[in-house]
Amino acid sequence: MSKSPFQAFTLNCNGRLLVAERPLVMGILNVTPDSFYAGSRIDSVQQAVDRSGRMLEAGATFLDVGGMSSRPGAELIPATEEMDRVLPVIEALSTTFPDAYLSVDTVYGATAKAAVAAGAHLINDISAGNLDPEMFRILPSLRVPYVLMHMPGKPADMQQKTDLYGDEVVTVVWDFLAEKMIELRQAGVNDILVDPGWGFGKTVAQNYELLKNLSVFTKLGVPVFVGISRKSSIWRPLGITADASLAATTALHLYALQAGAAILRVHDVGEAVQAVKLMDLLEQAPIVGE
């Protein structure tokens, strides 16, 4: 096994410096009634606090709070409704777990601004600023890291756009992320992470081509963020369900780590942390003949 292209990184999270010398794990908290994996749904602040405690105990560094489903075919909800869902959770987590790093999963600038004021340390935007121009305008003032993800269109129609890549899905996604990074840098955003957008407007074959070539995205010079947990491109080809896809997800997490993933966004924190630990052991093991 060749050495992973992962590089240690730092993130300035609104004045808190996070130093990562190994890949990190982000636990998913969906404050929604309709996210694709029922096991990730939260329907009360107390449930969010309880689940977050278990995720942090299992080794999560980040907790990602989302108030709007982005599954294929999902419609956008208003920012006001989204804020009503996520802000009480972020406030409670900030108070209960002051040492945790909180992320807000949103496409709206208004939600991002309110979430940071409530205690969030990172913005995770599936739309790369394309669904709300206000997002890129307010980011420099928020002083938090930003996850830049590739998605054609919006969740409601993204799976109708899988023919946009020709035979060059890796090149098209890489170019998109590189161009958006230039725009963000020019605006004054310093801490950027890139996410190729696995499952967002891609076929099964395109998703696996992106994953197989994940190390290419490390050449953008910023941490690579990976969100593949329990997605349909894992369980549908296997003829199983999302509920039964933990083992397969963990196998692909180990592959992503080998390819340089810096942060894994996951439903199952303990198993992802185990994958990171096993990757450490593989990295430390010598290759005979070298």
Q: Which residues belong to the active site?
A: 231, 265
Q: How many CB atoms lie within 10 A of CB 146?
A: 25
Two structure tokens written together for 182: 């230039």
The arrangement of strands across the sheet holding 24-30 comes to: 192-195, 146-149, 122-125, 101-105, 62-66, 24-30, 263-266, 225-226
Residue position matching structure tokens 């949103």: 106
Q: Which long-range contacts (CB under 8 A, 24 or more apart) does 3-9 make?
A: 3/283, 4/257, 4/258, 4/259, 4/260, 4/279, 4/283, 5/215, 5/218, 5/259, 5/260, 6/218, 6/257, 6/260, 6/261, 6/262, 7/218, 7/260, 7/262, 9/222, 9/223, 9/262
